[in-house]
Amino acid sequence: GENVEQHPSTLSVQEGDSAVIKCTYSDSASNYFPWYKQELGKRPQLIIDIRSNVGEKKDQRIAVTLNKTAKHFSLHITETQPEDSAVYFCAAPSGNTGKLIFGQGTTLQVKP
């Protein structure tokens, strides 16, 4: 089955700096890669996703890049703000029933 590894587990940046979180996956057939943000005490919410037919997708200050050959994808946050502080999870599909396998999570702290 699918296996997803996420790094780093914690990341601390100064406000205005960029943050990068990387995930690797094992199943070369995977074709959908979402990123979720979870604020303290709240539910995970999708912030961006990418499908395997594109290499990069941007939405304002966040972007996701995908390298299918190397089987890794990354979340990039530019001009970080304190409200970006949260836990971020990557995921990849397992099988063809829509279920996702999540990475272990990255706690991002943006210091003012």
Partner 1 sequence: NAGVTQTPKFQVLKTGQSMTLQCAQDMNHNSMYWYRQDPGMGLRLIYYSASEGTTDKGEVPNGYNVSRLNKREFSLRLESAAPSQTSVYFCASSEAQAGVGYEQYFGPGTRLTVT
Return residues touching partner 1 (CB under 8 A).
6, 9, 31-34, 42-46, 49, 51, 89, 93, 96-105
Residues linked to residue 12 through DSSP beta bridges, in sequence order: 109
Calpha distance 13→112 (Å, rounded):
9
Calpha distance 19→63 (Å, rounded):
11
Of 10 and 18, which CB lies nearer to partner 1 in the complex structure? 10
Query: Residue 93 Cβ, how far from partner 1 at the closest point, in Å?
Result: 5
Peptide bond into 44 cis (omega under 30): no
Of 14 and 43, which CB lies nearer to partner 1 in the complex structure? 43
Of 58 and 99, which CB lies nearer to partner 1 in the complex structure? 99
